[in-house]
Amino acid sequence: MYEILLAIDDSKSRARSQVEAIVDIPVDSSSVRIHVVHVFTDNPSGATIQKLGSAKTVKRALSDHGIDYQLEERSGDPATEIRDYAVTHDVDLICLAGRKRSPAGKALFGSVTQDVILNTERPVLVANEGDAPDE
């Protein structure tokens, strides 16, 4: 079984881009399992991954392609939680969504994608942010 960690945020358009990138991988969909993970950094309203629009988008798209998935939620620093999850579940690939930021924005606010890429030994697929707006 080919295990993919699909780390999503709150953006439906980025989630769609990630699924599009995954379904383009030349692997038999029956031999792939997707671990859809959202990391909550601050969750005073008590939201769950099942309530996120981005998770609903991913569920619909993966189901349409006949790809097995499971939803998971974590709390803490997103980059750390993504890396730890990848190791714990021995995933073969980490799929993240790119985000358009200026160089100053990256320096000031950091980048989960950059942190994961630089601090994991696992392959990382970065999906384009995509052109579709969030609904």
Q: 97-122 pLDDT, tens per residue? A: 987 666 665 554 458 988 999 999 99
What is the β-pairing status of strands 32-40 and 93-97?
Answer: unpaired
Q: 45-67 pLDDT, tens per residue? A: 788 999 999 999 999 999 999 99
pLDDT given for residue 106 in this prediction: 57
For the chain, count helices (H), then strands (E): 5, 5
- Report the CATH architecture of 2-127: 3-Layer(aba) Sandwich (3.40)
Q: 4-16 pLDDT, tens per residue? A: 999 999 999 999 9
Can you give the residue ranges of every domain in the chain?
A: 2-127
Q: Residue range 74-87: average pLDDT? A: 96
Nearest C-alpha neighbor of 79 from the set 124, 43, 47: 124
Cα–Cα distance, 83 to 17 (Å, whole number):
21
pTM above 0.85, yes or no: yes
